[in-house]
Amino acid sequence: MPYKHTGKLIPNKLKRSAKLTAEQKEEIQHRYLIVGGVSQRNLAEEYGVSRRLIQFCIYPEKLAANYARRVERGGSKMYYNKDKHTVSTRKHRRYKQELYLDKKLEEKVD
C-alpha cells in the first residue's frame, strides 16, 4: 500500500537538499560584484555553504563549464552504495511523512 504522502510535493522552503534560494543567489551576486568589500569565504561562512557554491552563484558560466567537463568524463562518476541509498530513502520518507502529518505538503500539479 503506498504512503499517503506519495502524491504530495515538499515546498521549496522545507526541502533539505536546497541550500540557497534564488533570492539569496541574487543577493550574493549583488553583494560581491556590485557592492564589493566582502570575500567569497565570508559569504560562504555567512550562508553556511561551500566557497565553491558561492563561486558558482557569482559566476554561472563556471558552473556551466563544470557541467560540460563532467559530461565529457561520462557523468558524475559517483559510485552507487545500495545500503547507503536505502538508509537515505527511509530517512526522506520519514521526513516527508512528518510534513504530511503536520499538513505542510502541497498538492501535486500535473
DSSP 44-108: HHHHTS-HHHHHHHH-HHHHHHHHHHHHHHTS--PPP-HHHHHHHHHHHHHHHHHHHHTT--EE-
Q: Which of 66, 60, 68, 74 is nearest to 32 (CA)?
A: 60
Mean per-residue pLDDT over the chain, rounded? 84
Grid cell for residue 99:
510534513
Of the two residues 77 and 24, the one the predictor is more confident about is: 24
pLDDT over 90 at 53, yes or no: yes
Mean pLDDT of 31-57: 92
* pLDDT for the residue numbered 83: 87
pLDDT class for 106, splitting at 50, 70, 90? confident
3-state secondary structure of 19: coil
42, amino acid identity = N
Query: Dihedrals φ, ψ of 5, to 5°?
Result: -90, 5
* pLDDT for the residue numbered 24: 92
pLDDT over 70 at 27, yes or no: yes
Name the strand (E) or helix (H) holding 9: strand 8-9
Of the two residues 106 and 67, the one the predictor is more confident about is: 67
